Amino acid sequence: MWQEILVGVIVALAALHACTKYLPAAWRQRIVFFLTQRGLNQDRLAKIFKTQSSCGDGCGSCGSCESDAPVQPPEDGRKVIKIHKK
């Protein structure tokens, strides 16, 4: 009996990990909203499901996305490859 419970817990944790890593951000935000409405802590769920804003998600909080400032070459003589938006 306890073996089935342990396997069920492991499968549930694996499914939670897959949801936090591979689901689209909109789906993860809906899950956090749904669970928050059921009384769970929103901040903790946002950390688990990785829905808090960061530089990589296009939130615009760091200001690097629209920066067109010229790139300074490194001091060690390496070349800088510029990538232009189309």
Determine phi and psi for 19, rounding to 5 degrees: -65, -40
Mean pLDDT of 22-42: 90
Look at the chain and report how many structural domains it folds into: 1
Output 71 or 81, whichever has higher pLDDT.
Answer: 81
Please check whether residue 66 lies inside any domain of the structure: no
pTM of the model: 0.52
Please check whether residue 6 lies inside any domain of the structure: yes
Please check whether residue 21 lies inside any domain of the structure: yes
Domain membership of residue 48 as a residue range: 2-52
pLDDT at residue 60 greater than cutoff 80: no
DSSP characters over 30-75 = HHHHHHHHTT--HHHHHHHTT-S--GGGT--SSS-TT--PPPPPPT
pLDDT at residue 66 greater than cutoff 70: no
pLDDT number for residue 69: 59
